[in-house]
């Protein structure tokens, strides 16, 4: 009996990856990858071209029985009534809408607290009160990365484009839609054809929860907030299509047989897909109580929670996951580049930096790095810079400085972990992933500073694996996703050093 194949697609910021996978075992059968253009504003057609190239590298998708797409979150894709892209997509890392985020926060913060006592937990400061009202409405306060701020920027700066909006979707929504055979229609398309084309858009809770105009607890769009961002009345935007939000195992559409499933009876169903962080958690087989800490350009701590997260400090985003749970997430702007800064400052390579750090005692002789080189998101200090504290003539040695850089990196992630714990998440397991885990000093110090043993999964394409696992789940019709093994390279252990984090907190303030 021939094995059943599924495909997981990861349309990330940098590239599209296609992983053809054995649906029963999770074993990779074929793989392809193609780059995306650089920049924070990108024509979505580049994603389509990259998907086609990656699928071809993966040996084609004719024999694939189901697929799903995971993708970079928050990117704004605007379509006109013919399904044509109106302007380049603004990606999550495009910060031009920072001012628009502040304006929208201020709008919700204007009104005084309700006199009936329902808002007694809100701040007296209008700016914080605005952030907290956004948290209550959609689970997250606003920053420039969230989709609604980008919509507001277009409305304020490109009114002619805003007037043409017939549908708003996200990168994974758009690519799934194209794989199903939908796309721009000709000028001779009828009104019925145009409506059916846009109505075919679909998404999932995880990605929709990152727009800031979807309430993942009520599972409904907040069109009132979207109307506010567009500067229009709610009735005026009633015709704008927003993708259908599917449950974890629902089929969104069937792939165009010219693209996938041509040789499979019944064709290739397309799963709901999801945002990259949620898909990675599915690929890692994370469950309630698991936390992943990802060290890349940025740092991300994400937990699986059975209940929604409303962080009234406005530090943790209350996203949904891909399984019906929630994915509270805290993100730092500064990640593994902190160790790059340490290498540059000391004129050493990674191994030499690790050796220097290992030669110092925990606490780096009293030196602490607060590593906000590019400002910081967690805590929200956009104008901050990095600083070394506690330096004396006695402790200013290369070894202590090297250790301070590594400890600062890990303590900033401990901040994220503590915020997640503060929302009631009972952390049972930590998984450390991302390119920064290759640094020996991070491996050596992580369990001591995070105050827990740390599992180190083997380096792999976990977003694509998560998408493939979702596709297999949709295909199976079962209540739980298939059990695929996650290979753990090692479990890191170490004696806790609580004094290191306590010292960091004193200086961080």
Supply the residues annotated as catalytic. Answer: 276
CA of residue 311 relative to chain centroid, distance? 17
- Cα–Cα distance measured from residue 417 to residue 415, given in angstroms and rounded to the nearest whole number: 5
Give the single-character DSSP code of 438: G
Q: Is 76 in contact with 280 (CB distance < 8 Å)?
A: no
Give the single-character DSSP code of 297: S
Q: Helices 440-450 and 350-358 meet at what angle, rounded to 10?
A: 40
Q: Is 415 in contact with 372 (CB distance < 8 Å)?
A: no
Q: What does 153-207 look like in DSSP terms, one character per residue? A: HHHHH-HHHHTT-SEEE-HHHHHHHHHTT--PPPTT--HHHHHHHHHT-EEEHHH
For the chain, first and last CA: distance in Å? 62
Q: Is 42 in contact with 500 (CB distance < 8 Å)?
A: no
List, in sequence order, every beta strand (DSSP E) within 375-463. 387-389, 429-433, 454-457
H/E element holding 294? strand 290-295
The encoded tokens of residue 86 equal 């109106």
CA-nearest of 316, 112, 364, 321 to 208 is: 321
- Cα–Cα distance measured from residue 270 to residue 114, given in angstroms and rounded to the nearest whole number: 45
- Cα–Cα distance measured from residue 130 to residue 453, given in angstroms and rounded to the nearest whole number: 38
CA-nearest of 24, 31, 41, 37 to 9 is: 31
Q: Is the dihedral of CA 431, 481, 138, 280 positive or negative?
A: positive
- Cα–Cα distance measured from residue 223 to residue 214, given in angstroms and rounded to the nearest whole number: 8
Radius of gyration of the chain (CA): 23
Cis peptide before 379 (omega within 30 of 0): yes
Which three-class secondary structure string do you get for 8-25?
Answer: EEEECCCEEEEEEEECCC
- Cα–Cα distance measured from residue 376 to residue 355, given in angstroms and rounded to the nearest whole number: 28
């Amino acid at each position: 009996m021939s094995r059943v194949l599924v495909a997981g697609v990861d349309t990330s910021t940098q590239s599209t990856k296609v992983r053809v996978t054995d649906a029963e075992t999770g074993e990779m059968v074929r793989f392809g990858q193609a780059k995306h253009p650089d920049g924070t504003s990108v024509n979505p057609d580049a994603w389509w071209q990259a998907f086609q190239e990656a699928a071809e590298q993966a040996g084609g998708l004719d024999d694939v029985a189901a697929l799903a797409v995971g993708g970079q979150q928050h990117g704004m894709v605007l379509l006109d009534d013919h399904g044509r892209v109106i302007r380049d997509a603004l990606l999550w890392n495009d910060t031009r809408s920072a001012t628009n985020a502040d304006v929208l926060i201020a709008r919700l913060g204007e009104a005084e607290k309700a006199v009936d006592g329902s808002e007694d937990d809100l701040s007296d400061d209008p700016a914080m009160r605005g952030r907290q009202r956004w948290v209550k409405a959609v689970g997250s306060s606003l920053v420039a990365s969230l989709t609604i701020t980008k919509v507001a920027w277009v409305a304020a700066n490109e009114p002619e484009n805003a007037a043409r909006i017939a549908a708003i979707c996200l990168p994974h929504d758009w690519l799934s839609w194209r794989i199903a055979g939908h796309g721009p229609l000709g000028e001779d398309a009828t009104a019925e054809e145009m409506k059916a084309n846009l109505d075919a858009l679909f998404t999932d809770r995880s990605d929709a929860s990152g727009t800031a105009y979807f309430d993942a607890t009520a599972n409904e769009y907040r069109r009132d907030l979207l109307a506010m961002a567009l500067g229009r009345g709610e009735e005026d935007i009633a015709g704008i299509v927003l993708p259908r939000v599917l449950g974890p195992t629902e089929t969104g559409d069937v792939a165009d047989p010219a693209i996938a499933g041509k040789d499979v009876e019944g064709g290739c169903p397309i799963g709901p897909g999801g945002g990259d962080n949620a898909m990675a958690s599915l690929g890692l087989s994370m469950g309630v109580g698991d936390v992943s800490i990802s060290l890349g350009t940025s740092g991300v701590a994400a937990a699986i929670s059975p209940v929604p997260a409303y962080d009234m400090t406005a530090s943790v985003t209350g996203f949904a996951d891909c399984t019906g749970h929630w994915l509270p997430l805290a993100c730092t702007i500064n990640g593994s580049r902190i160790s790059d800064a340490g290498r540059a400052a000391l004129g050493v390579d990674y191994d030499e930096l690790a050796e220097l750090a290992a030669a110092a005692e925990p606490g780096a002789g009293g030196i602490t790095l607060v590593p906000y080189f590019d400002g910081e998101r967690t805590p929200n200090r956009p104008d901050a810079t990095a600083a070394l504290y506690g330096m004396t003539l006695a402790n200013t040695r290369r070894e202590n400085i090297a250790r301070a850089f590594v400890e600062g990196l890990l303590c900033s992630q401990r901040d994220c972990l503590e915020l997640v714990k503060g929302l009631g998440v009972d952390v049972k397991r930590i998984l450390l992933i991302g390119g920064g885990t290759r640094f020996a000093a991070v491996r050596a110090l992580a369990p001591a500073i995070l105050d827990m043993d740390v599992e180190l999964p083997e380096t792999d394409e976990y977003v694509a694996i998560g998408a493939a696992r979702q596709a297999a789940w949709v295909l199976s019709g079962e209540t739980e996703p298939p059990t695929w093994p996650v290979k753990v390279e090692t479990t890191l252990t170490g004696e806790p050093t609580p004094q290191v984090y306590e010292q960091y907190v004193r200086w961080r303030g």
